[in-house]
Structure 1
Amino acid sequence: ASGRPEPAGAGSDQPQYSGRRANTQVGLDAAGKTTILYKLKLGEIVTTIPTIGFNVETVEYKNICFTVWDVGGQDKIRPLWRHYFQNTQGLIFVVDSNDRERIQEGADELQKMLQEDELQDAVLLLFANKQDLPNAMAISEMTDKLGLQSLRNRTWYVQATCATQGTGLYEGLDWLSNELSKR
């Protein structure tokens, strides 16, 4: 098997899902959140425009049914993020690895979010997106600039990704599904 999600209703040997998991995907605008969501959902690249509000899709992978809330990242709508955090078990934070000018802004938003009571028990998967670009920051540099080493009482993981090619996305979901299955 390729490890890719099967379309809903594919065949009569439908797997039994071990649970529906709520995951919220956020990040600064233009980080690649919507591209990631639809690459996972449809297996293809879709033309995106800035998300105002949210997209929500169910992605089935390895016997877990992920409900992914993809919330727009423009600065004026970031205060609305907190309204999507209820019942979130996995927080997916998408960062543009090539955007050095806004990495501190991303770090600030991430730290703010992690203070939210609703996310107290959520695991953090960070997609370091756009790793295909020549000036993309290395994972170690991003980990440092985002202040991840200072996180206490939080399970987190950084996965290098390229949304347009699909690289790293399923590896990230593997980690997330393994962590959520422990709960």
Structure 2
Amino acid sequence: MVGLDAAGKTTILYKLKLGEVVTTIPTIGFNVETVEYKNISFTVWDVGGQDKIRPLWRHYYQNTQGLIFVVDSNDRDRVDAARDELHRMLNEDELRDSVLLVFANKQDLPNAMSAAEMTDKLGLHGLRHRQWFIQACCATTGDGLYEGLDWLSATLQKAK
């Protein structure tokens, strides 16, 4: 699970793992947890998103079946940076066969971009030869998180 800093990755991870909102600090390095959902065990790596540590993301790509990219739907200033990082990542050989789930997070904020707007801004329609899905969500309430996991688990099951 990757995305720019302050997108909500750690909040999502622990909302899924513990069912509660935890106080987070910027992640330097990673958090890893196993999330059990509908008889599937997801090992979720939440990797820090600050610009100086983004080059380290590629060390986590090996054996990745599903990529969760978290984006702050309210951060209009950095949506281009999010798009650039996403596409840079998707060009990596190790992620060639990975499916992509985008969490358009922070939908509770009044100026949040919709999932449709985020789809355009992130250039998702241009992704050929890759299964992808965008899910509007709110990490703090949990809205949308399980819908995203439903798509991810169904898609990974079909790929087996």
**TM bucket, shorter chain:** over 0.9
Of 45, 51, 56, the match for 1:69? 45
Amino acid at match of 1:155: Q
Q: Alpha carbon RMSD of aligned pairs, Å?
A: 0.4
1:134-159 deviation line (CA, Å, top 9, x unaligned):
00001111100100000000000000
Task: State the distance in 1 between where 2:139 and 2:117 align.
Answer: 20
Amino acid at match of 1:28: L
Amino acid at match of 1:128: A
Of 105, 126, 133, the match for 1:157? 133
**Cross-structure match for 2:102:** 126
Amino acid at match of 1:108: D
Of 22, 34, 44, the match for 1:58? 34
Of 154, 157, 160, the match for 1:178? 154
1:180 is paired with a residue of what secondary structure?
helix
Paired residues in the alignment total: 159
Amino acid at match of 1:72: G
**Cross-structure match for 1:167:** 143
Corresponding position: 1:90 with 2:66: yes
Offset, 1:163: 0.2
**Cross-structure match for 2:119:** 143
Larger-Rg structure:
1
2:133 is paired with a residue of what secondary structure?
strand
Q: Which runs of 5+ in 2 are unaligned?
A: none
Task: State the distance in 2 between where 1:57 and 1:132 align.
Answer: 26
Amino acid at match of 2:28: I
**Cross-structure match for 2:5:** 29
**Cross-structure match for 1:21:** none
Higher helix share: 2
Please list every run of at least 4 consecutive aligned residues from structure 1 whose deviation after the TM superposition is greater than 6 angstroms: none
**Cross-structure match for 1:3:** none
Q: Which runs of 5+ in 1 are unaligned?
A: 1-24
Q: TM-score, normalised by structure 2?
A: 0.99
Task: State the distance in 1 between where 2:37 and 2:96 align.
Answer: 25
